[in-house]
Chains A and B, each alone.
Chain A
Amino acid sequence: MATDEQLAEAAKRGSAAAFDELVERYQGRLLRFLLGRCNNRADAEDAIQDTFVNAYRYLQSYDPRWRFSTWLYRIAIRNAARQPHSSTGDAAEPIDAVDPLASCIEQSERQNLWLVAREQISGDAYSALWLRYAEDLPLADVARALDRSLAWTKVSLMRSRRRLAAALRQETAAGERGEMYGKV
């Protein structure tokens, strides 16, 4: 099975099938990421469309020394920021009544931590968290995709983890209180 980088090289040489395969591999992953970055599904869909079109148009500028996913996510992050209702972490900016990310998450007893992250963490920090823990990209690739320094990326991830850890503690405490009241 060809790697992403091999497919990208083939697409560079004009293989439409190779690029089609890349779209097939990344469409779901990109949509999951963009649903967390945009405030509604329509913006996320516009962003994913623009991402693949820009990737195709500027394929010649892709440097195979880097992962294809890093390059593609970099384009996606830029396109997400260009959307009219992009999630910038600004509390004043209204989010649609139906959270596009929440609508794709299965209901469970405990809250999905990515929804907490979306509420509490700003745009680029959220992207860093997603690329590191959802996409398992190395730190250097995360920094490159965000066009940030390695130091910024490390600090951002550390702060995000701390905030989420605090949220988890609150969740645990609330659960324990609920159990206690339930017993009484």
Chain B
Amino acid sequence: MARYEDTGVEERLRADVRQVNAVVSAELRSRIDASIRAAGKMRSLPADREVRLPGWWVSGLTGLAAAALIIFLINTNRENAAPVVPDAGDAIATTITPETGERLGSFPLNVRTADLTSPLEEELIHLQEDLEKVRERVERDLRSTL
């Protein structure tokens, strides 16, 4: 009985769907066509390739940018700072003879001011070398990728 009723429902559904007349208007069709054309233009852009950049490529670029930023900051600070020209007084002050109270036992403390200019320059040279290495590596990887 249930099966008979089901069959009746199936037949009725199949018959009634023929009475549904949905017409796509010309305006809707032109909207669909315009959106597909827009999607087509987007698809033709090489977006996929940019998204699928390998990890080493991204990390190389990040390293390059970080190194460039550090060098830029160092150079900026050096340009802004007044040049350090030691005068005669400073030269004399480089050797400090401690007071009596500062003496440890029988050994006098001979203290010299730290000269920071040379290590910073060395650091800059090292950074520039690193930057050059990264640049060469990125160029090599780009050649092998493209």
Contacts and interface: CB of A to CB of B under 8 A. Distances in A.
Interface residues of B, number: 28
A69 interface: no
A168 B16 CA distance: 13
A53 to B, nearest CB: 5
A176 to B, nearest CB: 16
A10 interface: no
Q: Place the interface of chain A in its size category.
A: 35 or more
A168 B8 contact: yes
B36 A165 contact: no
B85 interface: no
Interface in A1-45: 16, 19-20, 23, 27-28, 31-32, 35, 45
B28 A114 contact: no
Contacts of A56: 36, 39-40, 43
B17 A53 contact: no
A150 B32 CA distance: 33
B20 A19 contact: no
A45 B36 CA distance: 14
Contact of A49 (B2, B14, B32): B32
B17 A134 contact: yes
B126 interface: no
Contacts of B31: 45, 49
Contacts of B8: 165, 168
Given A31-B22, A104-B20, A105-B20, A168 B36 contact: no
Contacts, number: 95
A59 to B, nearest CB: 9
Interface of B is mostly: helix
A53 B35 contact: yes
Contacts of A31: 22-24
A133 interface: yes
Interface string B13-30: 110110111111000110
B6 A168 contact: no
A161 interface: yes
Interface of B: 2, 5-6, 8-10, 12-14, 16-17, 19-24, 28-29, 31-33, 35-36, 39-40, 42-43
Interface of A: 16, 19-20, 23, 27-28, 31-32, 35, 45, 48-49, 52-53, 56-57, 101, 104-106, 108, 112-114, 117, 129, 133-134, 158, 161-162, 164-165, 168-169
